[in-house]
């Protein structure tokens, strides 16, 4: 093991909510694929190796988008799995550094300063550090009977990526959720099953997740203004 930082970028989903014929991570803003934006920002923030998890059928398209033939420092592709957590697990098996960041390719504009802050917290002893933002909408919970009740949004946070971990902690967490047979939508939720404390730091509006068509327009505009 060494104290460098590997980023595992999950890009093996189909991105059906965004529409289009190519995987979401290959959609472009400012002439560059979302995944390339994400990878560049992770490297600028201090990651020395980036493993991008993809569907095997998309290998050539990702090689072109990431210019793997003429790579930057340590950008490589590996095959993801059925669910997001399977894609992360497959990537983790390749990690040989003390610390790992897990990032959604769908968050292309994550600031390098946020990446650097997460790495700094890990090096200072945090086992798990995640960026979060306050929730701006009022939130209601809807029961199976269709009745709803309001939830105090002051206590809620929206969770972003990259999420940073001590690699051995995240490996143990993924083993645990696999044993329990539970599905998690992010890696901090997996770590929580071990009783490990999840450290929250302020996230960034720039790290928005491109999910719906309007998000592509917003991301392009944010990039122009940044
Ligand atoms: O579906 P959702 O938007 O939550 O996916 C989050 C990220 O996980 C996306 O970047 C997607 O490409 C990735 N993913 C994956 N493998 C899967 C499913 C999703 O890498 N099997």
Which of 196, 125, 111, 197 is closest to 160 using CA atoms? 111
User: What backbone phi and psi angles, to 5 degrees, belong to 142?
Assistant: -110, 125
Average pLDDT over residues 77-88: 96
Ligand 1, atom 11, lies closest to the CA of 13
Tell me how far the alpha carbon of residue 151 lies from the centroid of ligand 1, in angstroms.
27
CA dist., res. 80 & res. 86, Å (int): 7
Average pLDDT over residues 212-217: 94
Cβ atoms within 10 A of the Cβ of 124, count?
9
What's the pTM value of the predicted model, to 2 decimals? 0.95
C-beta 55 within 6 A of ligand 1: no
CA dist., res. 21 & res. 24, Å (int): 9
CA dist., res. 128 & res. 7, Å (int): 14
Helix, strand, coil % (nearest 5) of the chain? 40, 25, 40
C-beta 219 within 6 A of ligand 1: no
C-beta 83 within 6 A of ligand 1: yes
C-beta 58 within 6 A of ligand 1: no
185 token code pair = 């939508």
Quick one: pLDDT at residue 157?
Answer: 97
Q: Which atom of ligand 1 is nearest to the CA of 88?
A: 20
User: What backbone phi and psi angles, to 5 degrees, belong to 59?
Assistant: -55, -50
Average pLDDT over residues 89-101: 97
Q: Which atom of ligand 1 is nearest to the CA of 211?
A: 3
pLDDT tier at 1, thresholds 50, 70, 90: low
């Amino acid at each position: 093991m060494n104290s460098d930082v590997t980023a595992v970028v999950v890009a093996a989903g189909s991105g059906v909510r965004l529409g289009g014929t190519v995987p979401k991570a290959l959609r472009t803003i400012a002439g560059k694929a979302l995944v390339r934006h994400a990878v560049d920002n992770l490297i600028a923030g201090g990651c020395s190796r980036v493993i991008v998890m993809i569907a095997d059928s998309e290998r050539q398209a990702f090689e072109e988008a990431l210019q793997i033939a003429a790579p930057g420092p340590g950008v490589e592709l590996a095959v993801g799995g059925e669910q997001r957590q399977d894609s992360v697990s497959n990537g983790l098996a390749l990690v040989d550094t003390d610390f790992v960041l897990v990032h959604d390719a769908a968050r292309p504009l994550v600031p390098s300063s946020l990446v650097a802050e997460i790495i700094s917290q890990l090096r200072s002893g945090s086992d798990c550090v995640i960026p979060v933002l306050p929730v701006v909408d009022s939130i209601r919970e809807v029961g199976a009977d269709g009745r709803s009740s309001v939830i105090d949004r002051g206590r809620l946070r929206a969770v972003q990526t990259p999420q940073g971990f001590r690699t051995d902690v995240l490996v143990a967490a993924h083993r645990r959720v696999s044993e329990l047979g539970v599905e998690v939508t992010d890696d901090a939720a997996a770590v929580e099953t071990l009783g490990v404390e999840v450290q929250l730091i302020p996230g960034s509006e720039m790290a928005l997740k491109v999910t719906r068509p309007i998000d592509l327009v917003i991301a392009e505009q944010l990039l122009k203004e940044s």
